């Protein structure tokens, strides 16, 4: 199966999984949602914005469970898929998910950052298959902008 066929399958997987992509939120400061350098697309950090515009707020290990953190990371992945679709016009142009940096707003005692960010990674693999497997860092933060539960940065290889 060619890379192009896999990418087309990604579009269908969005539909098959009932994932609703949205118009990406505008940057809240002096930056852009994505920058292309050659065949790499660098996506700015996004958080867990819900369809209604609200965000998942809180600290994992304090007022959010591991499972709620996982769902926040999954929601963040959907937001990045929306950015990719807006930037590229089609998820068919995604050749590879290269690198994920996942940041978890958590207590000092919380140590399961990778399990939270799996919410993001699991969805990328579900949508892109082998091309969704990526290098990754998952780290804890004492706070994140606006108190969001998770923020993720992404690097994607694209094809024309």
Q: Over 12-54, what HEC string results?
A: HHHHHCCCCCCCCCCCCCCCCCEEEECCEEEEEEECCECCCCC
| pLDDT value for 137 | 98
In a 10 Å sphere around its CB, with 0-12 CB exposed, 13-18 middle and 19+ buried, how is residue 37 labelled? exposed
Task: Decide if pLDDT at 8 tops 70.
Answer: no
Pairing of strands 34-37, 135-141: unpaired
pLDDT level of residue 94 (50, 70, 90 thresholds): very high
Contact 149, 58 (CB under 8 A): yes
Query: Mean pLDDT across the chain, nearest whole number?
Result: 93
pLDDT level of residue 3 (50, 70, 90 thresholds): very low
Q: What is the pTM of this model?
A: 0.93
- CATH code reported for the domain at 3-158: 3.30.1330.40
């Amino acid at each position: 199966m060619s890379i192009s066929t896999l990418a087309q399958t990604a579009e269908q997987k969005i539909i098959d999984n009932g994932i609703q992509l949205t118009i990406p939120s505008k940057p809240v400061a002096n930056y852009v949602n994505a920058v292309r350098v050659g065949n790499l697309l660098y996506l700015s950090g996004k958080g867990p914005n819900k369809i209604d515009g609200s965000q998942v707020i809180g600290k994992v290990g304090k007022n959010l469970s591991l499972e709620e953190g996982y769902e926040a990371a999954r929601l963040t992945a959907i937001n990045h898929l929306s950015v990719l679709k807006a930037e590229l016009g089609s998820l068919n142009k995604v050749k590879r998910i290269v690198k994920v940096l996942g940041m978890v707003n958590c207590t000092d005692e919380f140590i399961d950052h990778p399990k939270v960010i799996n919410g993001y990674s699991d969805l990328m693999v579900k949508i892109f298959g082998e091309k969704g497997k990526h290098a990754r860092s998952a780290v804890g933060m004492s706070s994140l902008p606006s108190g969001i539960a998770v923020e993720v940065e992404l690097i994607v290889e694209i094809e024309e």
